[in-house]
Amino acid sequence: MTTLDFTHDPARRSWVDSANDPATDFPIQNLPYGRFRRAGSGEPWRIGVAIGDRVLDLAAARRAGGWDTEVDALLDPLAAGDLNRFMALGAPARRRLRAALSQALGESEGRREALAAALVAQTEVELTVPCTIGDYTDFYTGIHHATAVGKLFRPDNPLLPNYRWVPIGYHGRASSIVASGHPVRRPNGQTKAPDAETPSFGPSRRLDYELELGFLIGTGNGLGEPIPMARAEDHLFGVTLFNDWSARDIQPWEYQPLGPFLAKNFASTISPWVVTMEALAPFRAPFVRPEGDPEPLPYLDAPGNRAAGALDIQLEAWLQTAAMRAAGSPGVRLSAGNARDAAYWTAAQLVAHHASGGCNLQPGDLLGSGTLSGREPSQAGSLLELSDGGKRPIALPGGETRTFLADGDTLTLRAHCEREGARRIGFGSCAGTIVPAPLLP
């Protein structure tokens, strides 16, 4: 997953002019996959690759012909709209098709005449969840987030003893994962005030976001067959942005003793474009534990993971209130950080641990990273941290304040990778607007 080839050349250009814009998230060095259809058409969802401000329709690209036999076979599941079937083919298939698409879209050797008609403007399409997600597990890899939240509830013992030894996670609700742009309805649930004798039921008043990455499984494993660390990355397809919305007032009352439930299952938002592990090859970093922390147990350790298991991804969270939107303001950045500095466990370790007890992962399964907050307060990945548990309102432009999200607020996650000697690539956006809770029955 760390091998570089001609597709990563920062000087490489495309005949799709917008892909050569230094500010685009989708240069020819990226080529992420997603599911789309023409806006308002009601057509079946199809698979495309983002290139500049266009989408290459892979069904139309296949019909254009000119591919060798091997590449034509790889395009078959994608032309049928089945990203999961392509994900199951594994890393060698992805690398082969990446090379073919890069050549076809390349400025000098590309196939402009054949493929121009297969391009659709991104402004003319609607996007959905990029693949079928059968199962979803949310982890807790952000050690600074875990420490900050732990201090709110356990000031003398913020991190539980197992945190530095085992990747903590829980099984979430795959059916309520929605694509960027889908509205997020404020959930109802039970809450209990500290001074109340009995709980009450109603809309959450402490609705929050969580700045996460999502790791999508490519090839799976058989039931009862663990995945060794040395091969764990072979089972990863790519990375998305992920917002696991959280009702902070519902969560503390319901989560003991079995963990999150209604506070988490009402919605999670995923960005529509999957940046493949191959596209991220130039942005790998060593996995290093803080001095004095225990080394991972052998089943969670491997030389390749130590050398380049971390991901150097810049992360941002932006808030646009209804008042800002009415005034034409794009919103305000709440925080910025880097996944490399925030995550205590790597994606490969999550895969290896998840399968270590014999769980069978499948193509399209999603592993959430957990909230990726940095060490500094300005790098916090949730309002729970930014507002110190709701004790310190956050001042916004125009005189507004927030401790938690209000109806009408749009929360947007963004991310990009940028490093000397490599072409900047991005993830698109992961956005959701809060709408009022449903009426009580």
Buried b (16+ CB within 10 A) or exposed e, 23-62: ebbbbbbbbbbbbbbeeeeeeebbbbbbbbbbbbbbbbbb
Q: Which residue in the list 8, 144, 145, 353 is annotated as catalytic?
A: 145
The dihedral region occupied by 210, where left means phi > 0, alpha psi between -120 and 50, and beta the remainder, is beta
- Cα distances from 187 to residues 176, 184, 425, in angstroms, run 12, 9, 35
Check if 144 is active-site: no
Q: Residue 150 has which token pair?
A: 């732990």
- Cα distances from 387 to residues 192, 254, 327, 393, 415, in angstroms, run 21, 22, 25, 6, 23
Amino acid at 296: P
Cβ-in-10-Å burial (0-12, 13-18, 19+) of 436 comes to: exposed
Buried b (16+ CB within 10 A) or exposed e, 320-342: bbebbeeeeeebbebbbbbbbbb
For the annotated catalytic residues, the residue numbers are 145
